[in-house]
Amino acid sequence: MRALNIITLLLIIIGGLNWLLVGLANFDLVATIFGGQDAALSRIVYVLVGLSAIWQLIPFSRAMSVGETAAEAHLGHR
């Protein structure tokens, strides 16, 4: 489960950086790399980023309800 959390967090960071570029420079890096916003690969990346955000709601809600330290202890971190 830790690997999934790291992967989803990485995808959320990629999505956030992409939105930063869209907001500052009107430049969609994902679309540029994968052939446009309507290209299948771009849409897959967009969906994976969105699903990653939904997945990360689980540790976020746990952290909000039990405190950050207890939530991270549940994941097996030190």
Q: What is the pLDDT of residue 67?
A: 64
Joined together, the tokens standing for residue 18 give 């992409």
* Dihedral sign computed on CA atoms, order 59, 54, 6, 29: negative
pLDDT of residue 62: 84
With 0-12 / 13-18 / 19 or more C-beta atoms within 10 angstroms meaning exposed / middle / buried, residue 8 is buried
Scored b (16 or more CB within 10 A) or e, 37-59 reads eeeeebeebbebbeebbebeeeb
Segment 10-26 mean pLDDT: 97
Domain count, the chain: 1
Say which residue, 66 or 43, is predicted with more confidence: 43
Domain interval for residue 12: 2-74
Give the DSSP letter of residue 67.
Answer: -
What are the pLDDT digits (tens) for 27-38? 999 999 999 999
